Homo-oligomer: A and B are copies of this chain.
Amino acid sequence: MERHFEGELRALKERILAMGGAVERAIEEATQALIERDAARFATVHELEKGINQAHIEVDEACVRLLARQSPLAADLRLVVAVIKINADLERMGDQAVNIAGNGKRYLEEPALKPLIDLPRMAQIVREMVRQALDAFVRQDMALARTVLDRDDAVDNLKDQIFRELLTYMISDPRTIQRALNLILIARNLERLGDHATNIAEDVIYAISGRDVRHGGLADLGGGGLADKESRGPA
């Protein structure tokens, strides 16, 4: 029975890793479409999201089945509950990648505003956060999970900076408003992707330690105060 549980859990982890890989690729494809001004690449984002949605349903089913058949306890139970939450975050990350594609398509309908400011850098950090959060999950690596929490500040700062810069464009030249607005929305999409990666890292810490580090609880683990990631910044 125990053995069976381990096997199913390993399969679940692999599934979650694959979903995370698809999310990373979706962010990468959406960003490259913007950089290369190649709207056709957005189609790949939609395809990747379909796969993520399908995996989402299957992982949820597998978790419920695992809870029903094995009635795991303590750390194992926390791990399955963490998978349920991480799965939900990954699904919504797929949605956000699709949102980037939608805003990106509208952006590409007009001439380039100028090189994409810090958006590609922001996308790069977010992709790394996704990777790190899921690596932390699979390896049960608390320190790596905390790294993700720290990096979310960099993402939020970049977003604020991008907002300010684009606002300056809009005010100085009204012809840029529509395009600048699309880039602002993309920055917002990326910020939310960072928030989801942060949520995953928090779930990983919970699964490992049984401690809830959301809502300022990180201090208890000696990591300094953690503000609410989703509530922060001019969102």
Q: How far is the CB of A26 from chain B (nearest CB, A)?
A: 11
Contacts of A177 in B (CB 8 A): 167, 170-171, 177
Number of copies: 2
Interface residues on A, range: 35 or more
CB distance B102 to A235 under 8 Å? yes
Per the bound structure, the CA–CA distance linking A103 and B188 in Å amounts to: 13
**CB < 8 Å neighbour of A84 from B56, B81, B95:** B81
Contacts of A71 in B (CB 8 A): 67, 71
Known: A74-B68, A230-B92, A235-B102. A174 touches B170 (CB 8 A): yes
Per the bound structure, the CA–CA distance linking A57 and B174 in Å amounts to: 46
Chain B, residue nearest A217 (CB): B57
CB distance A178 to B174 under 8 Å? no
Q: How far is the CB of A72 from chain B (nearest CB, A)?
A: 8
Does residue A49 face the partner (Cβ distance < 8 Å to B)?
yes
CB distance B212 to A57 under 8 Å? yes
Chain B, residue nearest A175 (CB): B171
Known: A84-B84, A170-B177, A214-B57. A99 touches B235 (CB 8 A): yes
Closest 5 CB pairs of A and B: A95-B230, A99-B235, A71-B71, A53-B215, A98-B231
Chain B, residue nearest A73 (CB): B68
CB distance A214 to B56 under 8 Å? yes
CB distance B84 to A235 under 8 Å? no
Q: What would be 20 A-B contacts, judged by CB atoms less than 8 Å apart?
A: A53-B214, A53-B228, A60-B81, A67-B67, A67-B81, A68-B74, A71-B71, A84-B84, A85-B88, A92-B230, A96-B230, A99-B230, A99-B235, A102-B231, A102-B234, A102-B235, A167-B177, A167-B178, A170-B174, A188-B188
CB distance B181 to A167 under 8 Å? yes
Chain B, residue nearest A100 (CB): B235
Does residue A78 face the partner (Cβ distance < 8 Å to B)?
yes
Q: How far is the CB of A165 from chain B (nearest CB, A)?
A: 13
Contacts of A170 in B (CB 8 A): 170, 174, 177, 181
Does residue A209 face the partner (Cβ distance < 8 Å to B)?
no
Does residue A125 face the partner (Cβ distance < 8 Å to B)?
no
Per the bound structure, the CA–CA distance linking A92 and B63 in Å amounts to: 23
Q: How far is the CB of A58 from chain B (nearest CB, A)?
A: 10
